[in-house]
Structures are given as C-alpha cells and as structure tokens.
C-alpha cells in the first residue's frame, strides 16, 4: 500500500482479555517501530525491529506485551490480560532503513473497559 | 540513557507571530535530530531533520539548527499561520544507547489564533 496501515482502527475490549494489533508497513521498509500514546501525552517507545536483527524490546512495559514481525513485513503487537491502564493509541511506523524518515500509521485506539 | 526534553505547552500565538519551541537532548553518541508534527486524529509526520552538527533542517518555513555545543535543536518559524496549530515533537535517533530507535520528547501543543 501507499502508507503504513494499522488495524483495527478502534478496539474496545474487556479487562483481562487478550488483544492483537496489526501493522502493515510500507513495502520495502526494513525498520518497524511500535509506540504508545496516551491521551494528550507523548510517544512512548515500545519495540523496534530492524531487518533480521534481534528486536529492541527495551520499551515494553511488562511481560504482558509482546510483538513479532513475520517475514520482515507485517507486525503484530499482542497485549495479554489487558488492564485499564493499557488504554491508549498504539502507533506503528516504518522506515526504509535505520536513521531515515519514519512514516506513521493512523494508529489503533484501544479502550479497555 | 538517551532522552529529549521539550518546552511544555500549550504555546498560544497570534497569526504572523514568531515561533520558538525549545528542544534539548542527552545522548552518548552522535544522533540525528528530527521534528515531527501531529495533527488531530493522525499519526506524526516528519517536518524536518538534521544529521550532523551545525546542519540546518528546514521545511514549510520552519527551521532548526543542530547545536552540538548546547545539545539543542530549537524549532523556529518567522510567521505562524492558523494551519500550523498542531502538536510538535522533537526526536533523536542513532545515538549509542538508543540504537536506531526514535526517542521522542513529550510534545508541545501550538495553538495559533486568527
């Protein structure tokens, strides 16, 4: 596609359920990032994938959070046993390679009730 | 660890006023520096960047100069428009600690009144 695509755009889930958020990066982009943005707040780094290298998971807030990137393309962010504090917009971005412009998707707004 | 500090907002200006949004960084290596802009309901998008000391990034009338001696990358625009109202994020990438992940500041909301 022409840009970074995220799905779903909105997700409402009950506390304790697991959720999966999907990101389709721009074709050919080797770097992929996940960020979390709480209402009116900044961008909290979660995880970074670069090519076939081991991902930088240093931003994942707890072991309930995990992410994978299959075939160097699509990425899935999984949150297990969701909590109300997980409510936020989850943003995915991709770039052609490291240290180049990152293009962001529209985000997935997650609401845990 | 690497970090970015921005001036707190909101910043409220009248149309055609001069804009400065301060940004300073802490990094152990030689990062690239970026300004991203986020409009309501959208993801951030790149506004400008600079990759080495003394470089000036510019776009759409906005400018920022990479100052290694003061570890700063302040955003400026000579005459703001109502359409510039948005949230502005300073970011860095490529320093030793941050690998190549993008580290963002907390963002500064700009409101321009007609």
Query: Could you give the CA distance from residue B66 to residue B90 in angstroms, rounded to a whole number?
Result: 12
The confidence score (pLDDT) of residue A1 equals 53
User: Please, are residues B22 and B89 in contact by the beta-carbon 8 Å criterion?
Assistant: no
The confidence score (pLDDT) of residue A42 equals 86
Where chain B has pLDDT below 70, the residues are 96-98
Give the confidence band of A40 by pLDDT, cuts at 50, 70, 90: confident
Query: Could you give the CA distance from residue A23 to residue A36 in angstroms, rounded to a whole number?
Result: 13
Tell me whether residues B89 and A45 touch, CB distance under 8 A.
no
In what helix (H) or strand (E) does residue A37 lie, and over which residues does it extend?
A: strand A31-37
Query: Could you give the CA distance from residue A1 to residue B63 in angstroms, rounded to a whole number?
Result: 31
Query: Could you give the CA distance from residue B76 to residue B24 in angstroms, rounded to a whole number?
Result: 14
Tell me whether residues A42 and B106 touch, CB distance under 8 A.
yes
What are the Cα distances from residue A82, in Å, to A10, A47, A78, A90, B54?
A: 15, 18, 10, 14, 46
Longest alpha-carbon distance in chain A: 38
Mean pLDDT of chain A: 93
Tell me whether residues B45 and A45 touch, CB distance under 8 A.
no
Residues of chain A found within 8 Å of residue B43, distances taken between Cβ atoms? 4, 91, 93, 104-107
Q: Both tokens of residue B66?
A: 């990479």
Nearest-Cα distance to chain B for A2, in Å, is 15
Give the confidence band of A25 by pLDDT, cuts at 50, 70, 90: very high
Comparing CA positions, the residue from B101, B24, B63 lying closest to residue A60 is: B101
């Amino acid at each position: 596609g022409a840009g970074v695509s995220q799905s779903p755009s909105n997700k409402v889930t009950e506390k304790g359920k697991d959720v999966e958020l999907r990101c389709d990066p721009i074709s050919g982009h080797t770097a992929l990032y996940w960020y979390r943005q709480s209402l009116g707040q900044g961008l909290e780094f979660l995880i970074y994938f670069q090519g076939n290298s081991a991902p930088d998971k240093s931003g994942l807030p707890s072991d309930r959070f995990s992410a994978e990137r299959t075939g160097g393309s699509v990425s899935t962010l999984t949150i297990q046993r969701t909590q109300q504090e997980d409510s936020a917009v989850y943003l995915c971005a991709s770039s052609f390679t490291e240290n180049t412009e990152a293009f962001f998707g529209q985000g997935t707004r997650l609401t845990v009730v | 660890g690497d970090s970015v500090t921005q001036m707190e907002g909101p910043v409220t200006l009248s149309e055609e006023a001069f804009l400065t949004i301060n940004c300073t960084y802490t990094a152990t290596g030689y990062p690239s520096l970026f300004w991203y802009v986020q409009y309501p309901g959208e993801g951030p998008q790149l506004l400008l960047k600079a990759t080495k000391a003394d470089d000036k990034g510019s776009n759409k009338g906005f400018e920022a100069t990479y100052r290694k001696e003061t570890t700063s990358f302040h955003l400026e625009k000579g005459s703001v428009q109502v359409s510039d109202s948005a949230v502005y994020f300073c970011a860095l990438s490529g320093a030793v600690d941050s690998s190549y992940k993008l580290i963002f500041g907390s963002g500064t909301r700009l409101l321009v009144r007609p």
